[in-house]
Amino acid sequence: MTEIAMKPQVYIETTIPSAYHETRTEPEMIAKREWTRRWWDDCGPDYEMVTSGAVIDELMRGEYPHQANALQLTSQLTLLKIDEAIADIAQSYIDHQVMPVDPTGDALHLAVASYYRCDFLVTWNCRHLANANKFAHIRRINAMLGLFVPTLVTPLELLGEAP
């Protein structure tokens, strides 16, 4: 009997489609754009890429260059449903001071990725999400809640690491 290998599931957070279409010329922004594009274009097919309505909502806020392109990039992804259980998880992150007080932001992205047992949450948000100094706290809260802990990474960390 042949086993079918499942692709690792990756939750795409808002900063990824934004970085893919970044137009700023500072060296850091150029590097993020290039690493994001290289990961998305070269390694993306090796993953099951998913996102949520929270990402779409964030991308739709305001007006900025290449907004339509960022939204188009997410249109090919599977949308994970956000329900009351996920909202409760996000509130727990806020209550335990793991994430900033914004139930529609970072806490919600982490809640979705944890609830759906995503292997990775890919982000350029290194302050609140892809932050090694916060990971132990996130792991403790998820253990307390009985949740899976996704690996929180940047695209650069996944370059060349596809299964």
Give one DSSP letter per residue of 120-148, joined into a string: EEE-S-TTTTS-HHHHHHHHHHHHHHT--
Share of the chain above pLDDT 70, in %: 93
What confidence category does residue 19 fall into, taking pLDDT thresholds of 50, 70 and 90?
very high
pLDDT at 68: 95
pLDDT at 50: 98
Instruction: Give domain status of residue 161, yes or no.
Output: no
* Residue 119 belongs to domain with CATH number: 3.40.50.1010
CB–CB of 122/13 below 8 Å?
yes
Instruction: Give domain status of residue 4, yes or no.
Output: no
Instruction: Give domain status of residue 28, yes or no.
Output: yes
Instruction: Give domain status of residue 106, yes or no.
Output: yes
Instruction: Give domain status of residue 123, yes or no.
Output: yes
Instruction: Give domain status of residue 36, yes or no.
Output: yes
The Cα–Cα gap between 110 and 86 comes to 9
**Residues of the domain holding 49:** 9-156
Instruction: Give domain status of residue 97, yes or no.
Output: yes
- Tens-digit pLDDT profile for residues 34-63: 999 999 999 999 999 999 999 999 999 988
- Sorted by sequence, the CB contacts under 8 Å of residue 115 that are 6+ apart come out as 85, 86, 89, 147
Tally of domains in the chain:
1
pLDDT at 64: 86
Instruction: Give domain status of residue 1, yes or no.
Output: no
- Tens-digit pLDDT profile for residues 97-144: 988 777 678 999 999 999 999 999 999 998 889 888 899 999 999 999
